[in-house]
Structure 1
Amino acid sequence: MNSQRIFFSGNIKFLRERKNLSQETLAEKLGLTRSKLNALENGHTKAPQPDDYLNYSMYFKISVDNLLKVDLSKLSELKLRDLEAGNDVYMTGSNIRILAITVDKGNKENVEYVPVKAKAGYRSGYADPQYLAKLPKFSMPNLPRDKTYRIFPTEGDSMLPIPEDSDITCMFVQDWKSIKPQTPCIVVLSGEKDFVFKQVTVNDDATILLSSYNCIYDPYTVSAEEVLEIWEFYSFQSKEIPNIEGNDQIMKVLLDVQKQVTELVGNK
């Protein structure tokens, strides 16, 4: 007997709420009564009609297979947007990587380098193997084999003590929810926005907090829909030696404070 769980009712409610639609609004768009839509969302309709599956699939751009078999609420925003774009990675029940990559003659993944002058084009070509094939490529034998890597240049001083114009080697992050708070990452943003090197904290409300090591820059948030890719920091290469003088000053202040607290406690 097939005991696979069916997620349809929970998924269609999740997708409606994800788009901030009321039951009345969505029912009108789908040509349903509100009472029928409510029954579908609450699992009161034990045998939905094929038209119901197809209507939801066409409206939300999610395959019927995924509407039935996958708990969409457990997926990252990136995976949801990939499903909507037609990258049906869960159709076979296996977690197929959807990242576009290039390989060398030995069928090993290359490490592509994204030059500053290519940053604007990367936003539109990041998923296009033909575009990636034109980027400079490196083979870095010391990198662990179980990840996909890419190198991005940095600009500005927001992440000091990592020097400006450093080359950041990063690991591709498929599941954004796996990122620990304040993890340094390259974040590729959509539209006219740039990709940035920041500390990343993924919030429960589908926003992402971006903060700098350099405290003169205020943190800010972006919506998950503005983010195309996230690459977790692995290492960096620079022509400059990081300036640790500022860190020494901070440590000196902390040690002075600790000494004063110890003296106060000893005098009691």
Structure 2
Amino acid sequence: MNDQKVFFGSNIKFMRERTKMSQEDLAGELKIKRSKLSAIENGQTKLPSAEDIINFSAYFKISIDSLFKIDLSKLGGLKMRELEAGNDVYINGSQIRVLAISVDKNNKENMEYVPVKAKAGYRAGFNDPEYIAALPKFNLPSLPEGKTFRMFPTTGDSMLPFPDGCEIVCQYLEDWESLKIQTLCIVILKGEQDFVFKQVTLQPDGLLMESYNSLYKPYVVPVSEVLEIWQYYSYHTIEIPESKDIQNIAALLKEMQSDIRIIKTNL
């Protein structure tokens, strides 16, 4: 026997209140009686008509399955914005951000590596277990257990001092609302920019993306354009740090500070 709980009535009430509408307003928009809407919201109508169901779904732009099967009031603000932006778990035919992983012979998660040449394909196959299983994979003994990690290459100079071509190890971020201000992340986008390595801040209108390099201006990406977020853990590079240059800069800064103190003393 199916004991699936039905949330249709409570969801209609939740969405009406979320959009700051009275029962009279919504009933007028959908051309139904206020008493009928009240009965639906309070669960007094066990089986609304097919026409009413379709009209509610079209008006709120949320799938019929979601209206019936998901308690929308329990979703966080970000997931609600995803639903309203069209990222509906049932409209898309799969759960939001289903993560495909691969494991070794001991059933331990691998860390997959996504090389530059695979970046375009990753966007299409990021939730395909067969595609993920075909990626290069390895393990790092220092990584915390029970977490999912993946390695991505960087390109360009927008995140200097991270050098161009270094490899970024990231932890999969399932709850985007847990992002702190300016969290370093690899963000997988739907558009032409497959991977973006930025400082990420969650805002009401999307994700604010900021570079370390001030020559690159910040911009906002709508949540609906984001496929995955991977939080920075470590990076690896074959470049040798230019210690002499750093030491010379530090020495120059000390000289400048000393000169400034002398000038202030003579004022």
TM-score by length of 2: 0.73
The aligned length equals 243
The 1-side partners of 2:16 and 2:251 are apart by: 51
> Are the aligned partners of 1:170 and 1:185 in contact in 2 as well (CA < 8 Å)?
yes
Q: 2:89 aligns with which of 83, 89, 102?
A: 83
> Are the aligned partners of 1:111 and 1:137 in contact in 2 as well (CA < 8 Å)?
yes
> Are the aligned partners of 1:161 and 1:242 in contact in 2 as well (CA < 8 Å)?
no
Shift of 1:175: 1.2
Root mean square deviation, CA, Å: 4.0
Shift of 1:47: 2.2
The residue type paired with residue 150 of structure 1 is R
Q: Find out whether 1:224 has 2:228 as its counterpart.
A: no
Which 5+ residue runs of structure 1 have no aligned equivalent? Answer: 18-22, 90-96
In structure 2, the CA distance between the partners of 1:248 and 1:54, relative to structure 1 (3 Å rule), is: farther
Could you give the per-residue CA deviations for residues 97-118 of structure 1, whole angstroms, max 9, x where no partner exists?
Answer: 8311111111111101001000
The 1-side partners of 2:131 and 2:17 are apart by: 35
Match of 2:15 in 1: 12
Structure with the greater alpha carbon radius of gyration: 2
Shift of 1:72: 2.9
The residue type paired with residue 60 of structure 1 is I
Within-5 A mapping of 1:1-268: 7-9=10-12, 11-13=14-16, 32-33=30-31, 36=34, 39=37, 45-47=41-43, 49=45, 50-51=47-48, 54-55=53-54, 56=56, 60-61=62-63, 62=66, 64-66=68-70, 68=71, 70-76=73-79, 80=83, 81=87, 83-84=89-90, 85-87=92-94, 98-205=98-205, 207-243=206-242, 245=245, 249=249
The 2-side partners of 1:178 and 1:44 are apart by: 35
Shift of 1:176: 1.1
The residue type paired with residue 8 of structure 1 is N
TM-score by length of 1: 0.73
Shift of 1:140: 1.7
> Are the aligned partners of 1:184 and 1:200 in contact in 2 as well (CA < 8 Å)?
yes
Name the SS for the 1:124 alignment partner: helix
Name the SS for the 1:209 alignment partner: strand
Q: Which moved more, 1:253-262 or 1:123-132?
A: 253-262
The 2-side partners of 1:147 and 1:101 are apart by: 11
The 1-side partners of 2:102 and 2:136 are apart by: 11
> Are the aligned partners of 2:154 and 2:167 in contact in 1 as well (CA < 8 Å)?
yes
Match of 2:3 in 1: none
Determine what percentage of the aligned residue pairs are the same residue. 41
